[in-house]
Amino acid sequence: MAPIKKGVLERLNAGEVVIGDGGFVFALEKRGYVKAGPWTPEVTVTHPEAVRQLHREFLRAGANVMQAYTFYASDDKLENRGQTLKITGAQINEAACDLAKQVAGEGDALAAAGVCQTPSYLSCKSETDVKAVFKKQLDVFVKKNVDFLIAEYFEHVEEAVWAVEVLKTSGKPVAASMCIGPEGDMHGVPAGECAVRLVKAGAQIVGVNCHFDPMTCVKAVKLMKEGVEKAGLKAHYMVQPLAYHVPDSTYLGYTELPEFPFALEPRTVTRWDVHKYAREAYKAGIRFIGGCCGFEPYHIRAVAEELAAERGIMPAGSEKHGMWGAGLEMHTKPWVRARCRREYWENLLPASGRPKCASLSTPESWGVTKGHADLLQHKEATTTQEMKHALEMQKKAKSSG
Amino acid sequence: MAPIKKGVLERLNAGEVVIGDGGFVFALEKRGYVKAGPWTPEVTVTHPEAVRQLHREFLRAGANVMQAYTFYASDDKLENRGQTLKITGAQINEAACDLAKQVAGEGDALAAAGVCQTPSYLSCKSETDVKAVFKKQLDVFVKKNVDFLIAEYFEHVEEAVWAVEVLKTSGKPVAASMCIGPEGDMHGVPAGECAVRLVKAGAQIVGVNCHFDPMTCVKAVKLMKEGVEKAGLKAHYMVQPLAYHVPDSTYLGYTELPEFPFALEPRTVTRWDVHKYAREAYKAGIRFIGGCCGFEPYHIRAVAEELAAERGIMPAGSEKHGMWGAGLEMHTKPWVRARCRREYWENLLPASGRPKCASLSTPESWGVTKGHADLLQHKEATTTQEMKHALEMQKKAKSSG
Amino acid sequence: MAPIKKGVLERLNAGEVVIGDGGFVFALEKRGYVKAGPWTPEVTVTHPEAVRQLHREFLRAGANVMQAYTFYASDDKLENRGQTLKITGAQINEAACDLAKQVAGEGDALAAAGVCQTPSYLSCKSETDVKAVFKKQLDVFVKKNVDFLIAEYFEHVEEAVWAVEVLKTSGKPVAASMCIGPEGDMHGVPAGECAVRLVKAGAQIVGVNCHFDPMTCVKAVKLMKEGVEKAGLKAHYMVQPLAYHVPDSTYLGYTELPEFPFALEPRTVTRWDVHKYAREAYKAGIRFIGGCCGFEPYHIRAVAEELAAERGIMPAGSEKHGMWGAGLEMHTKPWVRARCRREYWENLLPASGRPKCASLSTPESWGVTKGHADLLQHKEATTTQEMKHALEMQKKAKSSG
Amino acid sequence: MAPIKKGVLERLNAGEVVIGDGGFVFALEKRGYVKAGPWTPEVTVTHPEAVRQLHREFLRAGANVMQAYTFYASDDKLENRGQTLKITGAQINEAACDLAKQVAGEGDALAAAGVCQTPSYLSCKSETDVKAVFKKQLDVFVKKNVDFLIAEYFEHVEEAVWAVEVLKTSGKPVAASMCIGPEGDMHGVPAGECAVRLVKAGAQIVGVNCHFDPMTCVKAVKLMKEGVEKAGLKAHYMVQPLAYHVPDSTYLGYTELPEFPFALEPRTVTRWDVHKYAREAYKAGIRFIGGCCGFEPYHIRAVAEELAAERGIMPAGSEKHGMWGAGLEMHTKPWVRARCRREYWENLLPASGRPKCASLSTPESWGVTKGHADLLQHKEATTTQEMKHALEMQKKAKSSG
């Protein structure tokens, strides 16, 4: 019989670092199993071995959390924009929990499952309707008995609070993570205030994920921490940023950048950028540190390597990685061997190899958020009329850039 | 019983496009199974499921060739630079062939196996010694009965010819691919002349792989084709470039760039860059089109999508990818929906998000090649004296940059 | 007898645009008459024809203000850092006023003279001492009877107020311009508050010059205007920015950028950037619009051309310039002729031709201001000890960048 | 009576460095006296003081050659494209010679005058017709008795040879300078071959000017030198490049770059770039070293400062410039004082301050040269039909870029 693992709160209460995993949506899109646009996770049912392999890579990289791949696995999302629902949300959520639990059992990791923002909320459905969507997912998570729950990728604190309220009914630990930056949520609620509301709703861990680059996300969580402490409350903090440099995004995050989602490659962070991020997050008092879109297993390994001394453990995957490039000592070319050291990589400013591209873009800020007609979601395919309108808006955004 | 597949030469003789796979070394380094520096493929023995999964992703992306992961799997390389040989070359090569054959059997793909440049050659061993290294690997490939053979990643045509001569003894089709650019091999032999020698040695397919970016590699293969045709010979052509933009590399290729191997991220090509590359390669008369380091499954899928009309088939993986971004029609945000079309992605110049980085680097051109003391390979670990010399050379290269 | 010209306040009260001139210090440094480092204007005495020519070029470009070249022409500055005082401040100021008045008389321009921040203030001398420095300069300006006075290039509002108080004693109109950005003065006084104090001290025109790029300066003046209006006061507004793009500078301005002062070339604004700046300033309600360091005659002409309709006049220099590049219609090469139109130039994003340079720098923020020992000014040459300290600070700033 | 100066050939024969001046066309365009498009030098007649001042600045910067401002001062050019000829070529050439001779007399400089490529040649006029154009200008130069002659800015060696043949009839020393790069003239004649033809036609000095950046021009002159020496001939060499970085231009030079002529600012070379250029030119055996478009007085001073030891003299203008930034020792801010040394400036990679601009552009290569209908020059204004054609060509060039 396996020894009973410490839960996520026990670990955090003990001051331990909990390493999150990376981004399944983008990683599996590149591997060929997720479709950009709908972004839904049918792959847990259709190609479980691909999902299992990715879980294992993150585990090997040092992750302590196997997050069931349930992102956008709510029925209202699955029906979105002209897709025929062949696989139900329940089927996906069940398969996802099974995979996460299986791999978590292979190492020192916990299985988590989560809900995220819904088309229902964006389309101005009622609190009751939106909560029903979350509840349907929660029922599976409870049945599968995952270790803890995550309400993540919320742009509006109002919806995030609803999600926490639903998840809390399970009695399991709840983490709440918004996809906002230092400027706050889409309705202008400051980051600190968002955190306070989430803690009051019952989240034991709060933070941000996705939408912004690592250092920007750390900055946002710092503001959350300040807000929570100022309010006389207590919480743990988490951060799971993009693996992309997006200093040119506005408060709306990287989806506004012209490169989203198919030309973000030049913005990808290196493992050395991740070292700096992990250190900065740690110094800020954040103890649940992972990644979101763009974070591949080697990025998570870099978090684990940077914090190896603090954690007292090196990840299994480091058998295949020399700290700060030490493995290069065995390279064939002597000039590459000379790069086997921290000072070299820490100070390198990597070139893009693209002299005809700029370093920053102009975001296409349409400036619409929940409540705006352009954001109403529906089951029917995008109409010609809607697309015409979208193209006109695009052209307008460009010319004012 | 499975239908008998057409061989690689039958396909090429019929004018068909043969799509190669991507780069195992870099992909598996990022997934945590290959160590940068030695770069050797023990993973085929230790974690076969990770290799199998990557094969499957390339198959799903449209690849017709499952190349057994035998890169650097020669005993002289495995013993290089202070490593203890726990797993033999024979074990690795056998496991690699098994995996390639298994997955090839799951679709319309052939299993290939290959040899590449050896520490023995760089250390000035005799033709007999070097050929013995190749023969040892070939024995496994013959025993496992792969469909065809590839001599790849050769910097010196002399060694490549030796490899072809050994592989030819098997009676199987032989492809020969050098890691050179338009300026020719490390000893100054022009690309066209290299190709002629390889064809005369018996290679039916010639081309280049690795070291340069897609368009540069196509240029090099064009020179090879011109050379072969001028010599009144006949051959098929192959190209498997880097998935990195490296216009700043010299004839020595990307290992000289300061970013190699741990900060190449900003140079990564997009799927749209791959569309242009696949078209250019096709127009140049190249019919074996794949990728090397940096090519992930989605890059290979882009080759298959660009040439879908010519091949009369879409890859399985395209069920999860709308041509030219068509899937974005189902995205939540209307401004992202407006990006669901070819014109948008074809003309986008992607930003790096790194305003404090330049777009090109200065290569650290030490200007040493086979025969130079700095390139002698040995089994012992790098000495302090050697490393001191390497660091001095690095400093010197920088200040003259 | 010449007709009596309208004064600067009459023009501004009538809602007219008053066009300032460009930067003498930098222009004459490049022409070989001003030494970077001390930056003092002995040239007015030694090579008056060079100064006169530059005045004429600005007049021809459309400037309505001939600003006597009295920048840093206070005796305490002239004695600074080991220079022997061969030419007195009085001599320089007299010659400067003569030149400005002469050229102003050749067209529709007024002669102004000014004072700027002093080493005495930076070295913590008393209000009485600092005011005595200004008074000495003012005596010459009054004797020469220039049309109005400018207190410009002040980093600390306290010293700027002292300057205005001295200049006001003359009874002439006084403009006050600080070298601050939207973040306020060196002691943290907000821009709006600075403006209020200057207006209360008696300045009829307030604004900013130097240190920041055109759009940033406009932003700062907007804050000043908001401050003044909120305080229920009235004033006119002026802006005379750098002709350099310096988005990477902190509140300390461009002297902190590593490129200052000898490698700013790639940052130079084009005439088209100036068109946008002039429009933006006009829209912000600023009516005294000119330039500072880097502004050459063609930049000032661009201000005049952009506002030609509002002013009802084209500058004399436009006989040698087609609006929005119209003169290119007569170029030899047809592809250059095709560039003879606004749409072309307005949307062009000019390349630097330097692929190995980044687009932004890291400022060397030492974070010292008035009151800090490092800023004490003295007559003696910089000592070896001081220079050693400075180099250590430089190294430290770099490594933390 | 003034001592008789050594002639240009005496100086060069003695191994002395002869420093040329900078670019009058661009400098005076920015000062407001030359119109971009026609680019003709009526200013010598209308505003002689502006021309005289620029000559003096170059003299003060160290130039040994006062080149009369006769560029494009041939009657066929003056009549080009709808301009009414108010001032004749003879008037301009006379005034230009007077100004050059006057200022040359004020220091150690020689007066030169020159001819350049003609609309007549581009429009396929006969050798007799083209030579008549040159002869008309030469008559003035002889009458004014300048010290030597320059045939410069020729894209086609055929026309350059005709110019040399005409100038040689005067008995004065003749320098011949083409605006070509390492790839040779517009008809594909290699640089070395161009030089040989010019020397055979009687030029004692050969080289290149304009169209390419400093290092590229030095490379082209090296090829000329190799050609001349290989042919067993003898000559002196000159180089007068652009002060712009244009690595992205093709053999056609900078007019093809989208930034020409009104957005070249970010490409401007620094004084430190000029130091490197002057050294490189000297090392290549070039002894007549100056500048063309973009070269301002401070750039020429940098040539003189770099070669001060070889020449045994510092330019007068260096009284206002500390070698390698030494004058900064007297700057107010201590962090700027720390920049008073060679190592700092020599290694600085200056940022553009434009993160939304790329570092390289795509040239608009229309690929037309002498003989093509698009290049026929005429007196009439550009027709609507012609302009429509030009805009179509521009659009086409862009989409294929």
Q: Do the chains contact at D353 and C37, CB–CB below 8 Å? A: no
pLDDT digits (tens, 9 = 90+) for D240-271: 999 999 999 999 999 999 999 999 999 999 99
Residue with the two structure tokens 């160590």: B35
Assess whether pLDDT exceeds 60 at residue A213: yes
pLDDT score of B400: 55
Averaged pLDDT score across all residues of chain A: 94
Minimal Cβ distance to C355: which of B355, B356, B358? B358
E strand segments, C145-240: 148-154, 174-178, 205-209, 236-240
- Name the residue among D167, D170, D159 with its Cα closest to residue D130: D159
**Residue D362 in contact with partner chain A when CB distance is under 8 A:** yes
Q: How far apart are CA C253 and CA A165, in angstroms?
A: 49
Question: Tokens at residue D154, please?
Answer: 């020729």
Cβ distance C359 to A355 less than 8 Å, yes or no, reads: no
Distance of CA C71 to the CA centre of its chain: 10
* D359 interfacial to chain B (CB closer than 8 Å): yes
Residues 334-353 of chain B whose Cβ lies under 8 A from any Cβ of chain D: 349
Q: How far is C346 from chain A (nearest CA, A)?
A: 11
Contacts of the segment D143-146: beta carbons below 8 A, 24+ positions apart: D143/D94, D144/D93, D144/D94, D144/D97, D144/D98, D144/D101, D144/D113, D146/D68, D146/D97, D146/D100, D146/D101, D146/D111, D146/D112, D146/D113, D146/D172
Q: Considering only CB atoms, which chain D residues are within 8 Å of A358?
A: 355-358
Collect all residues with Cβ–Cβ distance below 8 Å to D395 and sequence separation of at least 6. Answer: none
Q: Which residues of B touch A45 (CB under 8 A)?
A: none
Distance CA B7, CA C313 (A): 80
Residue of chain D with shortest Cα separation from B354? D355
What three-state secondary structure class fits D208?
strand
Query: Which strand ranges, in their side-by-side order, compose the sheet holding B110-116?
Result: B18-19, B288-289, B236-240, B205-209, B174-178, B148-154, B110-116, B65-67
Closest chain B C-alpha to C354 CA, distance in angstroms? 9
Rounded-to-integer distance, Cα C201 and Cα C149, Å:
14
Tens digits of pLDDT across chain B (401 residues)? 456 899 999 999 999 999 999 999 999 999 999 999 999 999 999 999 999 999 999 999 999 999 999 999 998 888 876 666 689 999 999 999 999 999 999 999 999 999 999 999 988 999 999 999 999 999 999 999 999 999 999 999 999 999 999 999 999 999 999 999 999 999 999 999 999 999 999 999 999 999 999 999 999 999 999 999 999 999 999 999 999 999 999 999 999 999 999 999 999 999 999 999 999 999 999 999 999 999 999 999 999 999 999 999 999 999 999 999 999 998 988 899 999 999 999 999 999 999 999 999 999 877 677 777 777 777 777 788 888 887 888 877 766 54
B351 and A248: CB-CB below 8 Å?
yes
For residue A337, pLDDT over 60 is answered with yes
Angstrom distances, CA of residue A79 to CA of A82, A88, A380, B333, D105? 7, 9, 9, 16, 87
**How far is A76 from A117, CA to CA, in rounded Å?**
11
Cβ–Cβ gap D358/A362 under 8 Å: no
CA angle in degrees (0–180, nearest 5) for C278-C283-C285 = 100
From the CA of C242, how many Å to the nearest CA of chain D? 13
Residue C286, min C-alpha distance to chain D (Å): 25
On whether the CB atoms of residues B322 and B340 are closer than 8 A, the answer is yes
Q: How far is C18 from chain B (nearest CA, A)?
A: 37
**β-strands A288-289, C288-289 pairing:** unpaired
A386 pLDDT band, cuts 50/70/90, is confident
Q: How far is A155 from chain D (nearest CA, A)?
A: 28
What is the per-residue pLDDT across A11-44, written as a single tens digit (0 to 9) for each? 999 999 999 999 999 999 999 999 999 999 999 9
Instruction: Tell me the per-residue pLDDT of C276-326, one tens digit each, with 9 for 90 and over.
Output: 999 999 999 999 999 999 999 999 999 999 999 999 999 999 999 999 999
Q: Is B279:B305 a contact under the CB 8 Å cutoff?
A: no
Q: CA-CA distance, C282 to C280, in Å (whole number)?
A: 5
Tell me what pLDDT residue D85 has.
Answer: 66
Of D25, D261, D389, D254, nearest to C325 by C-alpha is D261
B28, B296 contact by CB (below 8 A): no
CB contact under 8 A, D335 and C83: no
Interface check for A40 against chain B (CB to CB < 8 A): the answer is no
Please give the angle made by the CA atoms of B59, B65 and B71, to the nearest 5 degrees. Answer: 105
The answer to whether B63 touches B21, Cβ cutoff 8 Å, is yes
Q: Which of B241, B248, B245 is nearest to B220 (CA)?
A: B241
Q: Measured between alpha carbons, how far is A326 from A319 in angstroms, rounded to an integer? A: 12
Residues B216, B191: Cα–Cα separation, whole Å: 12
Which tokens go with B60? Answer: 């799903």
Picking from C244, C248, C296, the nearest residue to D30 by CB comes out as C296
| Predicted pLDDT at D372 | 79
Minimal Cα–Cα distance from D355 to chain B, Å? 6
- Say how far apart CA B374 and CA C116 lie, in whole Å: 62
Q: List the alpha helices (DSSP H) in D286-354.
A: 297-306, 308-311, 334-337, 342-347
In this model, does residue C189 exceed pLDDT 60? yes
Query: In sequence order, what DSSP letters do the residues of A76-121 get, joined into one string?
Result: HHHT-TT----S-HHHHHHHHHHHHHHHHTTTT-EEEEEE---HHH
User: C53, D49 in Cβ contact below 8 A?
Assistant: yes
The closest alpha carbon to C81, from D344, D320, D334, D339, belongs to D334
What backbone phi and psi angles, to 5 degrees, belong to A138? -60, -40
Name chain B's partners: 3 or more CB pairs within 8 A.
A, C, D
Stretch (H or E) spanning B207: strand B205-209
Cβ–Cβ below 8 Å for B355 and D359: no
Q: What pTM, to 2 d.p., does this model score?
A: 0.94
Count Cβ–Cβ pairs < 8 Å, chain A vs chain C: 9
Of the ranges B302-316, C325-339, C340-354, D98-112, which one carries the lowest mean pLDDT score?
Answer: C325-339
How many distinct helices (H) and strands (E) make up chain B? 17, 8
Say whether B353 and A119 touch across the interface (CB within 8 A).
no
**More confidently predicted of D242 and A364:** D242
Chain A: list its partners (3+ Cβ pairs within 8 Å): B, C, D
Residues of D in Cβ contact (< 8 Å) with B355 = 355
C199-231 confidence digits (pLDDT tens): 999 999 999 999 999 999 999 999 999 999 999
Q: In this complex, which of D30, D56, D356 lies closest to C298 when CB atoms are compared?
A: D30
pLDDT tens string C72-119: 999 888 887 666 668 999 999 999 999 999 999 999 999 999 999 999
Residues 170-229 of A with CB under 8 A from B: 213
Amino acid at C297: P
Q: Does A358 touch chain C (CB under 8 A)?
A: yes
Q: Which amino acid is at D323?
A: M
Contacts of residue B339 in chain A, CB cutoff 8 Å? 258, 260, 262, 394
Q: Which of residues 4-33 of B touch A (CB under 8 A)?
A: 29-33
**At residue C156, does pLDDT exceed 80?**
yes
* Cβ neighbours of C169 (radius 10 Å): 14
Contact status of D2 with chain B (Cβ, < 8 Å): no
Q: What's the pLDDT score for residue D227?
A: 98
Q: Does C3 contact chain B (CB < 8 Å)?
A: no
State whether residue D123 sits within 8 Å of chain C by CB. Answer: no
What b/e sequence results for D262-277 when a residue is b if at least 16 CB atoms lie within 10 Å of its CB, and e otherwise? bbbbbbbbbbbbbbbb
Hey, which chains touch C, using 3+ CB pairs under 8 Å? A, B, D
Mean pLDDT of the residues in chain D: 94
Nearby residues of A192 by Cβ (< 8 Å), 6 or more positions away:
A223, A224, A226, A227, A228, A230
C309 touches chain A (CB under 8 A): no
A55 interface with B at CB cutoff 8 Å:
no
Q: Do C359 and D357 count as a contact with CB atoms less than 8 A apart?
A: yes
Q: Are D202 and D171 in contact (CB under 8 A)?
A: no
- Does A359 reach chain D within 8 Å, measured CB to CB? yes
Q: Which of D248, D357, D362 sits opposite A358 (nearest CB)?
A: D357
- Give chain D positions within 8 Å (CB) of C122: 332
- What are the backbone angles phi and psi of residue A67, rounded to the nearest 5°? -90, 115
Q: Hey, is C117 helix, strand or coil?
A: coil
Sheet with strand D148-154: strands edge to edge: D18-19, D288-289, D236-240, D205-209, D174-178, D148-154, D110-115, D65-67
pLDDT score, position B3: 62
H or E stretch covering A288: strand A288-289
pLDDT at C82: 65
pLDDT in the model for residue C346: 96
| D290, D21 contact by CB (below 8 A) | yes
The pLDDT assigned to B395 comes to 78
- Average pLDDT of the segment spanning A242-253: 96
Please answer yes or no on whether C245 and D332 come within 8 Å at the CB atom: no
Is A357 buried (19+), middle (13-18) or exposed (0-12) by CB count in 10 A? buried
ipTM of the complex: 0.96
- Give yes or no for residue A366 having a pLDDT over 60: yes
pLDDT for residue A356: 97
Q: Which of D344, D335, B360 is nearest to C359 (CA)?
A: B360
The answer to whether residue D244 neighbours chain C at the CB level (below 8 Å) is yes
* Pick from D248, D355, D362: CB nearest A358: D355
pLDDT at residue D401 in the model:
46
Q: What letter does residue B215 receive in the DSSP assignment?
A: H
Look up residue A199 and give its two tokens: 């803690």
Whether residue A400 is predicted with pLDDT greater than 60 in this model: the reply is: no
Tallying the residues shown for chain C, one arrives at: 401
| Residue A178 amino acid letter | M
Please check the confidence at residue A89 and state whether its pLDDT lies above 80.
yes
pLDDT per residue as tens digits for the range A97-147 = 999 999 999 999 999 999 999 999 988 999 999 999 999 999 999 999 999
Both tokens assigned to C331: 């170029």
